[in-house]
Amino acid sequence: MALYVHKYGGSSVADAAKIVNVARRLADVYDAGHQIVTVVSAMGDTTDELIDLARTVSNEPDPRELDLLLSTGELVSITLLSMALRNLGYDAISLSGPQAGIRTDSAYGRARISEVDPERVRRELAEGRLVIVAGFQGLAPDEDITTLGRGGSDTTAVALAAALQADRCDIYTDVAGIYTADPRVVGKAAKLAAVGYEEMLELAAAGAKMHPRSIELGAVYNVPIYVASSFTDAPGTLIHNASDDEPMEDRIKVTGIAYQTNVAKVTVCGVADQPGVAAALFEPLASAGISVDTIVQNTSADRMTTDISFTVAAADLPRALREMAGLQATLGAGQVISDHTLASVSVVGSGMQNTPGYASRMFRILADGGINIDMITTSEIRISCIISQDKAHEAVRLLHEGFALDEAG
Ligand code: ASP
Ligand code: MG
């Protein structure tokens, strides 16, 4: 007997027929002799609709009230799923996040799980019940309801799986798994049978989109996460500790190609080449909540001044430029130049660690495609190039082919 946590996203429980479909899938797992805890999201676009509804009565809905309102979406789906299971003759029980022991901090709209007390869920399982838990919600220390941030049900599911020491956490969605590249961009993208947690975080845009915090939790508590479609029985992707059981040679391969559009670059020219300048530049951005990705500082030829370039999300560019304008006078910096028409493309793979040649191969592929590289950054498992946005899709396709990831046939 195994203990599984399943999670079904909004599109998998969007209407009555789909809820009954999920109920049947759960019944099969139960009939095979397993224990099962199921986390569900709100039906279809319910959460969006509730947010719109709140805005019809208030321009800036009170965060506490908004979280309590949003939590109702998941209460609808858990109760309906439990009723559908009971209708099929199974003993099911639905539990809200607080009833299931999900405790959070008090940050409305983006609460973090502080603890899961699995006692009630364990008791229900011991009674032989199928337990259905509301995703995306929890209880703050002051006993108010919080939500975990959009898409947070994945994180509820992995947190529960960790607390219950479940054998696996299955995330069922409308995409069949994680691919070697975004399947909408690369027709020959291949579904990955397995991927490491860190690679998964880097590949976030390739296929099923998951709440990043769920992957981080999975990595910390070593919860194997299986991502698959709720509509087919096609095999999905296992996100796990890749080094565990991967054939040795597979670990030296590139896993996939990731990309991100709407990247903006800011260059501050002629800043003094002396201690404290970078801190003075980036501290205001951090306090303004603007996250900076790539940073390049050139060594100055004359040892007097240097140029610093960095990238931000294009949506943050106006605010970043405002911060820079405020600093220009104090830092004695020269011109500030910006470009908001950029993208980043990345080659991802844990096998790249300590293996030379990946970067040069990437640059060669882009060069042969006539694609100019603006900036370059690397991490242990990723090499990223900033390029022109209108070349992004072409670059992804060329790299996918160049690193021999195109699906055969
Ligand atoms: N219903 C919430 C949302 O739409 C949580 C989730 O789907 O995971 O963001
Ligand atoms: Mg949703």
pLDDT, tens only, 375-409: 998 888 899 999 999 999 999 999 999 999 988 65
- Residue 63: per-residue pLDDT: 97
Cα of 191 vs centre of ligand 1, distance in Å, is: 25
Q: Which long-range contacts (CB under 8 A, 24 or more apart) does 313-319 make?
A: 313/262, 313/263, 313/264, 314/262, 314/263, 314/264, 314/340, 315/262, 316/264, 316/290, 316/291, 317/264, 317/266, 319/288, 319/290
Q: Which amino acid is at 407?
A: E
Class of residue 390 by CB neighbours under 10 A (exposed 0-12, middle 13-18, buried 19+) = exposed
153 lines ligand 1 (CB under 6 A): yes
Summarize the confidence of residues 128-150 as an average pLDDT. Answer: 97
Cα of 238 vs centre of ligand 2, distance in Å, is: 22
Do residues 27 and 88 touch, judged by C-beta distance below 8 A?
Answer: yes
User: Reduced to 3 states, what is the DSSP secondary structure of residue 368?
Assistant: helix
Cα of 160 vs centre of ligand 2, distance in Å, is: 18
236 lines ligand 1 (CB under 6 A): no
- Residue 205: per-residue pLDDT: 64
Cα of 136 vs centre of ligand 1, distance in Å, is: 6
Same domain assignment for residues 18 and 164: yes
Q: Whose CA is nearest to atom 5 of ligand 1?
A: 151
- Residue 378: per-residue pLDDT: 86
Q: Whose CA is nearest to atom 9 of ligand 1?
A: 150
271 pLDDT higher than 90: no
Report if residue 348 sits inside a domain: yes
Boundary of a domain, candidates 141, 157, 174: 174
Report if residue 60 sits inside a domain: yes
- Structure tokens that stand for 100 in this block: 């299931």
How many residues does this entry show for the chain? 409
Report if residue 71 sits inside a domain: yes
144 pLDDT higher than 70: yes
Same domain assignment for residues 169 and 300: no
47 lines ligand 1 (CB under 6 A): yes
Cα of 140 vs centre of ligand 2, distance in Å, is: 22
CATH number of the domain where residue 120 is located: 3.40.1160.10
Residue carrying the six token digits 């599911």: 157
Mean pLDDT of the chain: 92
Boundary of a domain, candidates 123, 142, 174: 174
For residue range 184-195, list pLDDT tens digits in order.
899 999 999 999
- Residue 356: per-residue pLDDT: 77
- Residue 251: per-residue pLDDT: 57
Class of residue 153 by CB neighbours under 10 A (exposed 0-12, middle 13-18, buried 19+) = buried
| Beta strands 35-40; 130-134: pairing state | parallel
247 pLDDT higher than 70: no
- Residue 334: per-residue pLDDT: 80
Cα of 234 vs centre of ligand 2, distance in Å, is: 23
Same domain assignment for residues 166 and 263: no
Summarize the confidence of residues 139-159 as an average pLDDT. Answer: 97
- Residue 137: per-residue pLDDT: 98
Report if residue 194 sits inside a domain: no
- Residue 209: per-residue pLDDT: 79
**Ligand with an atom nearest the CA of residue 156:** 1
- Residue 249: per-residue pLDDT: 57
Using alpha carbons, select from 196, 71, 178 the residue that is nearest to residue 134.
Answer: 71
User: What percent of the chain stands above pLDDT 70?
Assistant: 95
Q: Which amino acid is at 30?
A: Y
Report if residue 69 sits inside a domain: yes
173 pLDDT higher than 70: yes
- Structure tokens that stand for 252 in this block: 């030296």
- Residue 127: per-residue pLDDT: 98
Q: In terms of pLDDT, which residue wins out, 339 or 210?
A: 339
CATH number of the domain where residue 348 is located: 3.30.2130.10
Q: Which helix (H) or strand (E) holds 51?
A: helix 46-57
d(CA 220, CA 80): 33
Domain total for the chain?
2
For residue range 52-74, list pLDDT tens digits in order.
999 999 999 999 999 999 999 99
Task: Report the sign of the C-alpha dihedral through residues 75, 80, 83, 84, in that order.
Answer: negative
Q: In terms of pLDDT, which residue wins out, 356 or 106?
A: 106
For residue range 288-310, list pLDDT tens digits in order.
889 898 898 877 777 788 889 99
221 pLDDT higher than 70: yes
Report if residue 230 sits inside a domain: no
Cα torsion 383, 227, 233, 21 to 10°: value is: -140
Class of residue 245 by CB neighbours under 10 A (exposed 0-12, middle 13-18, buried 19+) = exposed
| Confidence tier at 252 by pLDDT (50, 70, 90) | low
- Residue 94: per-residue pLDDT: 98
41 lines ligand 1 (CB under 6 A): yes
**Ligand with an atom nearest the CA of residue 147:** 1
- Residue 248: per-residue pLDDT: 58
Domain that holds residue 265: 256-407
Question: Which of 174-183, 352-361, 364-373, 390-399 has the lowest average pLDDT?
Answer: 352-361
Report if residue 400 sits inside a domain: yes
- Residue 92: per-residue pLDDT: 98
250 pLDDT higher than 60: no
Same domain assignment for residues 260 and 111: no
Do residues 94 and 38 touch, judged by C-beta distance below 8 A?
Answer: no
- Residue 298: per-residue pLDDT: 78
208 pLDDT higher than 90: no
117 pLDDT higher than 60: yes
- Residue 167: per-residue pLDDT: 97
Ligand 1: nearest atom to the Cα of 45: 4
Boundary of a domain, candidates 148, 174, 200: 174
The pick from 12, 153, 169, 173 for probing ligand 1's pocket by mutation, whose C-beta has the most ligand atoms within 8 angstroms, reads 153
Same domain assignment for residues 170 and 283: no
| Beta strands 225-229; 237-240: pairing state | antiparallel
Same domain assignment for residues 161 and 269: no
Same domain assignment for residues 150 and 19: yes
| Beta strands 194-196; 237-240: pairing state | parallel
Same domain assignment for residues 120 and 263: no
- Distances, alpha carbon 23 to alpha carbons 10, 15, 29, in Å: 14, 12, 10
| Confidence tier at 355 by pLDDT (50, 70, 90) | confident
- Structure tokens that stand for 22 in this block: 């999920």
CA 309 to chain centre: 27
42 lines ligand 1 (CB under 6 A): yes
Q: Which helix (H) or strand (E) holds 258?
A: strand 256-272
Same domain assignment for residues 145 and 268: no
Spell out a b/e string for 92-131, using b for 16 or more CB atoms within 10 Å of the CB, else e: bbbbbbbbbbbbbeeebbebebeebebebbbebbeeebbb
Q: Whose CA is nearest to atom 7 of ligand 1?
A: 151
The pick from 45, 46, 150, 211 for probing ligand 1's pocket by mutation, whose C-beta has the most ligand atoms within 8 angstroms, reads 150
- Name the pTM for this structure: 0.86
Same domain assignment for residues 272 and 170: no
Same domain assignment for residues 164 and 290: no
User: What percent of the chain stands above pLDDT 90?
Assistant: 75
311 pLDDT higher than 70: yes
Summarize the confidence of residues 269-286 as an average pLDDT. Answer: 88
Ligand 1: nearest atom to the Cα of 211: 8
d(CA 58, CA 182): 38
Report if residue 200 sits inside a domain: no
Same domain assignment for residues 291 and 401: yes
- Structure tokens that stand for 268 in this block: 């501050």
Cα of 43 vs centre of ligand 1, distance in Å, is: 9
Cα of 400 vs centre of ligand 2, distance in Å, is: 30
- Residue 207: per-residue pLDDT: 66
135 lines ligand 1 (CB under 6 A): yes
